[in-house]
Structure 1
């Protein structure tokens, strides 16, 4: 029987073959149009799939992350996928202009880039690349320390879920409004050396619209920043966000994470600095940017199709009557904090009366909370 003193927790082994994270500096690569797998791996929503390689803890603990990447390539789409594989996939040159969120171990990497279509298929354009590179996902499980993660499978799952969501947004005409424009799913190859042999590994990415704006989170949690906007305008922007959310829901998507950290605000040109002094700031457009735990209803189990479809979107009163908006911090009136009644009165004022005609009839029994 082994002694307790012989026991030790697993941690990722030394991996001298693992190359440095390439996306934080000058990086140019040829990307090729790619069809992702159907969405999978989101607990209680999309099923887990059995990959063609061993993902048991016991096996993963015998590998370095480089060995995992070389031996477990990313998954391809099944024959029954909604998208057909193009006979001649488009190609483009991607040049990273600057990192947005790039860090070893963070999961998907976000970079601002210039994309130049090849073979005269279009003009160069600016975009955000969301890169699902399993070599730079955390090999150690962040929620269960000392357990390994099959990072190739995790990256494939993230890629499949967001690709399905953006494709649906584009198909239903919501990309380019409350959601970013979507420029498709792509793949590229990078060299990697293992045990003296040169290999090629495949990396997936999505291209989405670059929003030249400010993250709403940076304005919600500092009173001085929020006060750069009038209260009337802040509430108008909040109403636009709630309206955008119910319209996405009506289109068949539940984003499931409507928080300031996932909202970009594009300011009017003369008001680009939200901390600047002078006339009040004005938000031109609010954009919901993160769909990593989103549900596309027609691809999800029946349990998620819990609302009958209606001709018009649900009224925000229905979705937000009992949902606290306190996470919006200083963006909302401070009288709302811990006071659901004040929020409910605003919902009625904003989305009731004649404004209610833009939505399906309210189903919620409108009983105000105690002040």
Structure 2
């Protein structure tokens, strides 16, 4: 079996070499190439490369190479190859090939969601398995999962802290990855939602839901586990940074761009973007909950029916955002079940094909 380095070199060769790669990213299972000239790529040879599970052309210049769960290892090997330093710079106008839609802004929105959630996926998966352990403990009658923390043994309190750390501080992670995707400073992007999770900000809402800051009414919300407020704040940060860099001398960008960015974006997020983002998330979640309450059977058919078409195009990421929103607002989720049914159906089909092939 060839090593990951040998396979990565073969992949790079078959896509036309390092000089033909304009941009390279990866998702949970795929290498995502944006090529300067796809005519130079040998897709047949690429698909026959050992360890490559499949090749999916995307638009006129894109190629997705399916590698499975070890995709990060191959990505890291490819970017270390000579000449790949130039591939990290995004082209002046990002091309999406029109696969997901004929409008660039629609394509970018889905790409934005995909690249925002992909880096956080590892932490979410790890936390979800810790939740599974606690639910199993509840199932076997060892410890009530939903009991208040003051009634939980110390060991279980620590386990709850392990998974809640990911969901509670999820806005900070999303703020960082979303800002990085847009080209804004990721640490400033993380600091904006972090300000809304500090004890000082939380203390404002101890006695009331609305406070007045310098005479302006501020509606207080719980921003833990929220995904839409940091997403909107990252977009705002991108434009604020872009404007500040035009009017502030480059010699003092490092000091005054983050200073004014925080000074502008934290109040904007607290007063406007945060409540607006929570409204969007709650609206979508409430609509899907209404559909589920109307007929869980219909929802359980529609989601698995659409999912096989959403995944190859990267359109399933908005559903992940809604699932996190459901967990934050409802304490449970009704989308993952139908998605799981589709996954088990795929497993059944593959197992059947495997047994027949034997």
TM-score by length of 2: 0.21
Q: Which has the higher strand share?
A: 1
Structure with the bigger RCO (C-alpha within 8 Å, sep 6+) is 1
Q: Which has the higher helix share?
A: 2
